[in-house]
Structure 1
Amino acid sequence: MKHLNKILVAAMMVMGLSSQAQDSNNPWAISFGANAVDTKTSAGGGNGWLDRHFSQPFAVKDNWNILPSVSYVSVSKYVGNNLSVGLQGSVNKINKFVKFDPTAPGHDSRGYVVSNPGDLMYYGIDASVKYSFMTLINSKVLDPSLHVGGGYTFLGDSSFGTVNPGAGLTFWITENVGLALETSYKKAFGDREDATRTPDAPSHFQHTAGIIFKFGGKDTDGDGIYDKDDVCPEIAGLKEFNGCPDTDADGITDKEDSCPEVAGPKEFNGCPDTDGDGIADKDDACPEVAGPKALNGCPDADGDGVANKDDKCPNVAGPRDNRGCPWPDTDGDSVLDKDDKCPNVKGTVANSGCPEVTADVIKQLNDYGKTILFDSGKASFKEQTFAVLQSITDILKEFPNSSFMIEGHTDSDGSNVLNQALSENRAAAVRNFLVEKGINTDRLKSTGYGETKPIASNKTAKGKAENRRVEVSLIKE
């Protein structure tokens, strides 16, 4: 039984819970250090209860039993409302047992005798509930407290229960580390089994002094703000913003900042207004140049209600329907008639308002050119060719700003000199026909290549037919 009790107490010392001060951020605390046991209170004598219990509270050398090593361990848990609960395990060796016996040799002037009971080991396991006054006195360093609880004491071969009122004072060196001092009056119940060595179960004072550590607080993002107080627990932030970040340092947290990467004033929800026109850059169609809200922050130099960037005449007022210009755009190709070389034909800005000749158009012209039929050995047209020539004329009229080259080609029959002259004459005949049909003469040129550029074999009738042709190409300026 003796060894079983000791093993039980040792286990409780490791697993025990004590009532040192902590808070909701760090709900757990562990404390360890030295303890002192003073048995004078159970010795009797004195002038009443107060005199017996408190006449020699600091007679350390005479009455205190101190084991020169770590002799108590405790762990505690905060439960809210300044209260914490737990258990404490302690061990000591009693070599100063105080008795009241005025007849015994060696007693002091008050009749107390201090004896050494021999190898008398002390083990304690105590539970308590503690109330901290730290919040009430609004201190971050001093932590006074009161506690009450009960426990069980093993003294030699005997054991007995105790009721333990007490008080404590912790000095917090840092937020989580402190120096803890505590005293408990352990009122004992029951009789000692080995009363021949000591009197009845001794009530006594137990004092502890040790180091306390608070722990258990969770700070997921590592920003020094516990998750329970951190509005942004998974993203590191600043204390002044309750743990939320302010990436651009403009005084507005990222979660409330419409532009978290770029600093801006509060009136724009953290977004900048580079041009100072009262419109945040993110909503400003012209963020670098000041402009009115009606035009999304873009300027209107001529005051015609059309923003400069959309105004074809930014310095001359004009109606909105005409893109801010006083001049019309008859063909609606975004080139004003005054600048449009083809005001009645829709074209491109790059081609001064005229339509651009595409590869498909050239192909169509050359497909027609291959079907032009001339009288044999002459530059005169066969009757069925006039419809083809009219189709070519109609296409060229669609591109009044473009110039074309008419090329004549022959097969290899006949001499080179005759073929060269024939190709030039036939190309000129096509050009003359187009001019007569209204195509400006300055837009057309003609030339002949004779038999020098065949596109098929001249050894077959079919090949020769393909080589007798007229081609049209665009003259690029």
Structure 2
Amino acid sequence: MKKLLFLCTCLAFTFVTNAQTEDRKWNIGIFGGATQYNGDLGNDFYKTDMTFYGVAGLSVSRYLGKYFDLNMAASKGTVAYNRDNGYFNSEFSSLALNLKINFLNPDYIVRPYVFGGLGAMLFDKKFDVNSKKIDYLLPTAGGGLTFRLSPVVVLNLQETFMFTDGDDRDGVTGGSKDAFLTHTLGLSFNLGEKKDADKDGVSDRNDKCPDTPAGVAVDKNGCPLDKDNDGVADYQDECPDVAGSPALNGCPDRDKDGVADAKDRCPDLAGPVALKGCPDSDNDGVADIDDKCPNTIAGYKVDASGCPLDNDKDGVVNNEDRCPDVAGPVALKGCPDTDGDGVADIDDRCPTVKGTIANKGCPDISPQDVKRIAYIAGKIFFENASAKLKGSSFVELNELVLILNRYSGTNLLIEGHTDSNGSDTYNLNLSQERMESVKKYLESQGINSTRLTAIGYGESKPIANNKTSLGRAKNRRVELKTTY
């Protein structure tokens, strides 16, 4: 009887510790069941024609690993036999220590197992034939099934065989030693709190993604769900039902242009991101599907329709229009010609007076004025060996000012020459200084300096023989030439 009680205790203890985990390493449990006897009087194992005798107890266990638990249980019950060939009945208390081996890891709901261990049974004196109160269980063994009802609660069904070192609990000696079988059912409770830093329901030890943001659904490994298996978690995936690229937040990109199909105006033709994935053959910044001028010359500025800009609507595009903001004829590259002389205003030295192309839009100087300018040139005189103008020259120069104002588009070239008296350097410098004097006077009378050019040639360009006084007089001269 004591052996049976001890065996029941061991069995119950083994049951209680099932389904522990690394997170919940301690377990306590309660159990109850029935005992059966096998010894010199007979064998009642797995027979149902005799009254069953009960056993109950408590257990404490410790998780050792995925497949191993260490269990300790205390139990109290009755072992007995009651047939025609004999009778005994004894109450017992027991303590047992078992090592349980699970065939499956704790992730399974149903887990079969076997166990083995040792213990002791303390019997009462009522039916003992001697004064020995304790039998030792060497060994206890058995097996069973556990059913995980929740992470904390486990149901256990177990069979335990207990083989004692005694032979007199049944009142008969000299034969086989007494053995007991217990059938138990019980509940156990796993203790401890699961460590789950990111609160995703998966313990840290099993969590392969321990930093999952709060509220994100995860799989059994603690990683955010990824329904389309594209490497982008659903909570970050803009296209969670279609596999795509991580670079595009999980969305597909058929043409591989870096624009997700859902945002790509041309999902089957590669194009720049700035144009929402559409190509731009002429590189004018307008997608081909919108470009009304698809062959624009490179570098030309275009409008929203992809056509070259023409601000003044004169038919000449800005990049070819010399006057892009003022309408003008195509022949003059988009520039106006106010006086209609064929010279664009921007080039016309006389934009309001009709002239000739040769004169940059200015009219020809009249023959009379041409002669008068030549006459004036011959009346410009200087002090001897000096650049100072003689007083008589100012009357002629003032007339020249009037002519230049009448032909405002003209430029004037002032050329000075000397005879051969004196050195070449002296004559060159003197002629240059004299022409500068003429230029300065004309400027003082309102002629713009940009219209005037003064050049002294010294004695380098004679028009007569310097060996005669007449020739030298001819060589000392000023020449005035109008140009455009």
TM-score normalized by structure 1? 0.46
Structure that is richer in helix per residue:
1
Q: Report the structure number with the largest CA radius of gyration.
A: 2
TM-score normalized by structure 2? 0.46
